[in-house]
Amino acid sequence: MPKNEKTDKSQKPATKNKQAKRGVKQTSKTAKTPKTKSAKSEKTKTAKSNTKNAQQAEKRRTNQKRTSSKKNFGANSKKKQTKKKPVKSVKIGFLGGLNEIGKNITVYEFENDIVIVDCGLAFPEADMLGVDLVIPDFTYLEENREKIKGIVITHGHEDHIGALAYLLQKINIPVYGTRLTMGLVEGKLEEHKLLDGAKLNVIKPGDTIKLGKFDIEAIHVNHSIPDALAFAIKCEAGFIVQMGDFKIDSTPIDGGMIDINRFAELGSEGVLCMLSDSTNAERKGYTESERAVGASLRTLFEQAGKRRIIIATFASNVHRVQQIIDQAESLGRKVALSGRSLENVVEIGSKLGYLNVKEGELVSIDMINKYPDDKMVIITTGSQGEPMSALSRMAFSGHKKVSIGPNDCIIISANPIPGNEKTVGNVINELMKLGADVIYEKSYGVHVSGHACQEELKLMMGIVKPKFFIPVHGEQKHLRKHAQLAINMGIPKNDIFIPDNGVCLEISENGIKQLENIPAGQVFVDGSGVGDVGNVVLRDRKRLAEDGLVIVVATMDSYTGEILAGPDIMTRGFVYVRESEELIDEARDIARYAIENCIYNNIRDWSTIKSKVRDEVSHLMYEKTKRSPMILSIIMEV
């Protein structure tokens, strides 16, 4: 029992426990039924809380990412800014060709490398007495000779190659140009005995040459001479386009149109600066094609009938010469050449294939009298009225082979260069006095320009789309008009610079900065002398030409100062002595008084005595004649 009792006792609690457990379970079950809403609400709250927490956590993570991204971006920006290359700049110096006609030369400088474009001459003005040529001052180039990598030539006209020989005498550098240009350069260098040592290199349109840190691309353009080029000059600062002399000719004689496509490509790539020809910036419209001249010449040649034809043009205008020869040949006329430069150009052009002349068509100027007038055409130089040109000598009856008469029809196939109008007019007048019929007016259509007019200039600006613009090649009025065209095309005024000779510019993407000027004066060539004629000499020549010379000669005792002979007065170009004896006697007395006054005041310095004599005689001459001759006093001592 006790065991059973124990067992029972032990089982009872177990039952109770089971029941308790069941009761608990039941209690749980019964508890769930009334508390269902509350549990769901709690669960929903918990879910919402969890969702909200998750959203906040996601937001924090997003913000952290953004902050991190910004930090990284800033770091990258700083790195990029640190690695960013500095803006490069290129210098452009102008040694000639601005505010004048001729003497074109431009200098490009990047870091320690220099490239030159063109090296031309100018013809002397009327007051440059005795001067044959005017060339640029090469001082800056001589001072920087070690930097110069070469010179590139746009075309073969004198105002672009005429001073090259004088530069190569000082600095022997490589020269680059097209076949015809190099042919003409060879002729120049041969005259100066420089050809043997010259470094001449022939290039063609489309070629790119590397000169130091410059890459220079040659681009074909139309002009009044074949083989003309523009240059796209590339360095780390950017592209610079220098147009050279150009026009847009749709029907060129040689069939080669200006390479508009390449200029458009450069415009798309981005051009830092453009330098463009301003010669015809004042002329509206378009320049006519060279081919139009051929039709006009044909008409005039036919109208000449039985008369002899003499036609003056630029020696280097190969296309014009070709058209004249073609028209003469078609009408059964022979052609003779007068003028050394013309003969040289025809020889070189024929040799290189730029002129097509049938055998026997050209005859010597010595043979012209063997042909009837209606079977002869004479092509001559002198379209600008140059004093020693063939046409001028004909006009003033100084030509050894050609005498002008009423049976001559003379055609001037050129327009006067600004400044030459008067000399050309004088030649025309003299030819007419000799009875010749002279055709020179524009209405006859015997000349077209080789330079672009306004619409062509605007077209090229629109195609090239330069950031900066510099008008070149012309007088101030041409440069300013060209600058205004650029403004009209949308180029900001501050991005346009009108330079002068001697100006040096620094150009970069940030703008144009003017630096200190460089030497860019005029050097006069007189005979074989280069630079030995300066402004002082020209002033003296001008004075001699205008008012003449008075020479005072006296002989003095070096010990006592006594006048032993004279003073004697001689004049040249001032007055005729025999007709002005009273004035000469008075001048003699004044000179004697000046010398004696110096001796009386114990002045024995000969230069001082000469100066006193000069001043006194000069004062007398002006008082009596209102002229100021040059006074030369010569005091000899014995």
Helices 340-352 and 179-191, axial angle in degrees (round to 10)? 140
The tokens for 89 are 């700049």
CB 268 within 8 A of CB 238: no
Torsion of CA 569, 572, 575, 581, to 10 degrees: 30
Q: What is the number of other CB atoms lying within 10 angstroms of the CB of residue 380?
A: 26
Q: What is the number of other CB atoms lying within 10 angstroms of the CB of residue 565?
A: 11
Q: Which of 227, 277, 373, 408 is catalytic?
A: 277
**Whether residue 137 lies in the annotated active site:** no
The answer to whether the peptide bond before residue 499 is cis (omega within 30 degrees of 0) is no
In sequence order, what are the residues at sequence separation of 6 or more whose Cβ sits closer than 8 angstroms to the Cβ of residue 2?
none
Write the single-letter amino acid at 558: S
Q: What is the DSSP string of 604-636?
A: --HHHHHHHHHHHHHHHHHHHHS---EEEEEEE
Sign of CA dihedral 539, 540, 541, 543: positive
3-state secondary structure of 223: coil
CB 471 within 8 A of CB 281: yes
Q: What is the number of other CB atoms lying within 10 angstroms of the CB of residue 330?
A: 11
258: left (phi over 0), alpha (psi -120 to 50) or beta: beta
**Whether residue 215 lies in the annotated active site:** no
Q: Which of 223, 451, 473, 478 is catalytic?
A: 451
CB 312 within 8 A of CB 412: yes
| CA–CA separation, 567 and 196 (whole Å) | 57
Please identify every residue annotated as catalytic: 277, 451
